Structure 1
Amino acid sequence: MRPGELIASDRGARSGAPDDLARAWSVLGAVMDPEVPVVSVVDLGIVRGLDWQDGHLHVVVTPTYSGCPATEVIEQDIEQALEGAGFAAPKLERRLNPAWTTDWISNDGRERLRAYGIAPPAGSTSKRSLMGDSGDVCCPQCGSAHTELLSQFGSTACKALYRCIDCREPFDYFKCI
């Protein structure tokens, strides 16, 4: 290495412009979850923060759970989207504490889940839900609250399988966690 030559991790380092963070949030709003491709990583609440550190965009990502098989794909998609938008060598930090919760899903994300045929989390992860005080799981097809649990495990570990008693359609329910 010669004097004045940048080390590889410094390539592309720059000061953040005033509108860079808003632009980065916008870019991330278009990065879809690979398992539920109608909700973005922002709507799911897994992007927990953006800031500038050492001349690079720093992105804090909290996966939906520590063993989520899509975590690496999501991180690659985030990195590619940001690099494609001109953010050189963004730095991603996987943060497991505090743990992700369905309370972090945006209202838009909940509506997109419903429109896609997945019942969004009912209620919240508050202590009241531990005492059985959770909301009704409504059918995303017909809106009925007359539903029944078929299996605690749906198409992915974070979903349960329900059936609507009125329209008889089975559907995934995004569990409160």
Structure 2
Amino acid sequence: MVTVRQSAASVAAAVRDPELPVLTLAELGVLRDVREDADGGVTVALTPTYSGCPAIAEMRADLDAALRDAGYEQVRVVTVLSPPWTTDWISETGRAKLLAAGIAPPGPAPRRDGPVPLTLLPTRTAVVPCPHCGSPDTEETSRHSATPCRALRRCRVCREPFEQVKEL
């Protein structure tokens, strides 16, 4: 009996994000490219959500393990920084999964030309609807949460706390 090996792209697309495990790396939009190489190996291009993202090492290890388990002996994971990732790369499926998990998906990412300016002023946040009841009457309780990409919020109507993926 001949076993048909899964395509590298489908294996890589199923790997979950270590910080937002309701999403796959593909749904998060950090999986840039998957190529099956002439030598029988695989090259995966991965973009971190931001420079210095501590989860990138675990993403690499998880991709490597999943592809090796699928029968690929040579796995190369390369980091691609340009164009930089933004929250606009989260798929519609990914946004729906965040909402279903009680995490407010991000709105549109801010548009920038050139380097990101450093400012110590508070960030301006658009209305963030509650993922539990849908009310737009929510407040930020902490700009930082379990990861730098998320903030803590609370609904003023249903009083439930929730996380928000920040627009980046």
Smaller-chain TM-score bracket: 0.7 to 0.9
Trace 1:8-157 onto structure 2 (pairs within 5 A): 23-55=7-39, 56-126=41-111, 136-157=127-148
Larger deviation: 143-152 or 107-116? Answer: 143-152
Query: Aligned partners of 2:55, 2:151: CA distance in 1, in Å?
Result: 18
Unaligned runs of 5+ in 2: 113-122
How many residues of Structure 1 are paired with residues of Structure 2 in the alignment? Answer: 154
Compute the displacement of 1:95 (Å): 1.5
State the secondary structure of the residue aligned to 1:126.
coil
Compute the displacement of 1:87 (Å): 1.8
Compute the displacement of 1:112 (Å): 0.7
The question of whether the paired residues in 1 share the 8 Å contact of 2:98 and 2:104 is answered with yes
Q: Which amino acid aligns with 1:24?
A: A
Aligned with residue 162 of structure 1, among 122, 138, 153? 153
The question of whether the paired residues in 1 share the 8 Å contact of 2:28 and 2:89 is answered with yes
State the secondary structure of the residue aligned to 1:148.
strand
Query: Aligned partners of 2:38, 2:57: CA distance in 1, in Å?
Result: 24
Query: Aligned partners of 1:145, 1:126: CA distance in 2, in Å?
Result: 23
Aligned to 1:175: 166
Q: How does the TM-score come out when normalised to structure 1?
A: 0.79
Deviations 1:110-141 (A, max 9, x none): 111111111000233335xxxx9975311111
Structure ID, larger Rg: 1
Query: Aligned partners of 1:26, 1:53: CA distance in 2, in Å?
Result: 15
Q: Which amino acid aligns with 2:143?
A: Q
The question of whether the paired residues in 2 share the 8 Å contact of 1:122 and 1:134 is answered with no
The question of whether the paired residues in 1 share the 8 Å contact of 2:17 and 2:59 is answered with yes
Please give the root-mean-square deviation of Cα atoms over the aligned residues, in Å: 2.2
Query: Aligned partners of 2:166, 2:158: CA distance in 1, in Å?
Result: 21
